[in-house]
Amino acid sequence: MTQPLRLGIAGLGTVGTGVVKILRQKANLLSARCGRPVVITAVSARSKDKDRGVSLEGYAWEDDPVALAQRADVDVFVELMGGSEGPAKDATEAAIAAGKDVVTANKALLALHGQALAEAAEEAGHVIRFEAAVAGGIPVIKSLTEGLAGNEITRVMGVMNGTCNYILTRMEDAGLPYEEVFAEADALGYLEADPNLDVGGIDAGHKLSLLSAIAFGTKVDFEGVELEGIQKLSIEDIRTAARLGYRIKLLGVAQMTGRGLEQRMSPCLVPVNSPLGQLEGGTNMVVLEGDAVGQIVLRGAGAGEGPTASAVLSDVIEIARGSRISTFGQPAAGLEKARPARAAAPAPFYLRMTLTDKPGAMAKIATVLGESGISIDRMRQTRHDSAHAPVVIVTHKTSRDSLDTALSGFAATGVVESDPVAIRIETV
């Protein structure tokens, strides 16, 4: 009988228990698809006695994930603990040093240390697979490294944080302010322990940096991602966007330009009738554009026990079948860091600000825009009291540099009462 592939699983939270359940329930199906049995030999987690709703009978227990990673009866170390440092990093390094393949769902670890880990693994003849680290159950990593390997990728774009998409669609559907929906999401357990990882765009930025590395054949560069979260968005922004024919999404965009690699994760307005504009709730969507294939749209559950465990098992099956793809689609030792570039392509922008309600205030704003080389497409003043005048402006296409010049100039007019909100209107 063919030797089984033996797994050591570190981390028995939602995803880890989901993996155990699938392996217990579908052992025969997985064995048939792999050509060999896939079994769990040992596990590790913070608490041995916690009721996880699944039996761990027959698995050896290790309190220390590093010890688990070094066990002689483990072929593949499955890291599902999370965190860019500490036990996750230590145990992954130990697994590579001990001659193990690694499967992980840890986007933060790979975004910050992926290059070094990939080089170490590949030098030792082993692999790191991480389908579950980006967009949950959506097979976007395999799409880039396998299905679209014959393409030059021109752009990667997507909604990659279900919590932010839930918050924005909930605000729109229920007409609720950001603070109220944020509290609701927190109560439902949708937010990370550090909520800024979600609403600040950091979690999605980690994912975008990984996709960029694969798509454009570069070293992972999370520091090169321009990050802007959704905290400044108001219900009025969402309502106004809808009246203009748009919806607001926390959108990641990466593309290689003549100036370098552009990576940005920020709120954008997208057409309401586009695939991204129709995305609801906690669902994720990734759009891949290649020179030969055109545009590919991948949509599905971006988190949760089943979808993420499904992605973990896809990597395990790949290893069981003998596939040995380089971590980022090309040998890690040959990757170079791309020159970071800010968004250079001109685009229309949505601007919202509150002005002092006095004669000439709007004229001063228009003057600053004109001096910055920006023309106004549409403008409206919303309902206001006698002292404050909320204003919304949609510009014609302009560069981000010109917009930044205008935003700096607004402060000198003396008529802007709060920091303006500026949102790019993205072509999708």
Question: Between 107-123 and 87-97, two packed helices, what is the crossing angle to 10 degrees?
Answer: 20
Give me the phi and psi of 206, to 5 degrees please. -55, -45
- The active-site residue out of 207, 219, 249, 364 is 207
Residue 339 has what DSSP assignment?
A: P
What distance in Å separates the CA atoms of residue 400 and residue 345, rounded to the nearest whole number? 8
CB of 149 closer than 8 Å to CB of 360 = no
What distance in Å separates the CA atoms of residue 369 and residue 278, rounded to the nearest whole number? 32
First to last CA, the chain: 52
What distance in Å separates the CA atoms of residue 224 and residue 115, rounded to the nearest whole number? 15
CB of 154 closer than 8 Å to CB of 130 = no
Look up 219 and say whether it is catalytic: no
What distance in Å separates the CA atoms of residue 5 and residue 121, rounded to the nearest whole number? 18
What distance in Å separates the CA atoms of residue 250 and residue 423, rounded to the nearest whole number? 10
Q: Which tokens is 165 given?
A: 């998409």
17-30 as b/e: b if 16+ CB within 10 A: bbbbbbbeeeeeeb
Catalytic machinery residues = 207
